[in-house]
Amino acid sequence: MARPCRHRRSRQVAAHEAAADLLGLDDGDRALTVPTGQPLYNNRAGWAHDAPIGTLRRKVQDIEALQAQLAESKAHLLELMAQIEARPADMDCAANARRVLSEMKLDADAGGAPFAPGRPARP
């Protein structure tokens, strides 16, 4: 983690002191330290900042994973639409539906990606 610049650090100290004042911490409370020597209340304030940032970063990663899945699903849907629209002029809709389903099944049987991620393939 990057160290804050001196100006930011002084603002953090002032914010921690103001928070300690609001919480009514006395000199004894402020004198408590963690093993590194950092005042306990400063350590907890830093944790209160870092924990939400870590959570937010994980949420962004989750969103990026979902976006990748959505992009894949969109590509499959566009391919399906292209297959449906590529119906030969001499083929009726029912026969075209069988053709498209057959191509989907053949693609899945050949180890290709299923049409709809997370859904079982239709027989």
> In angstroms, how far apart are the furthest CA atoms of the chain?
89
**What pLDDT, on a 0 to 100 scale, did the predictor assign at position 123?**
41
pTM: 0.46
Which two three-digit tokens encode residue 73? 């699903």
- CA 83, CA 80: separation in Å to the nearest integer? 5
More confident residue, 22 or 81: 81
Residues near 105 by beta carbon (within 8 Å), at least 6 away in sequence: 121, 122, 123
**Within a domain: 82:** no
Residue 61 pLDDT level (bands cut at 50, 70, 90): very high
10: domain range? 6-68
**Within a domain: 101:** no
Count structural domains, the chain.
1
Whether the pLDDT of residue 122 is over 60: the answer is no
- Do residues 121 and 103 touch, judged by C-beta distance below 8 A? no
**What pLDDT, on a 0 to 100 scale, did the predictor assign at position 12?**
73
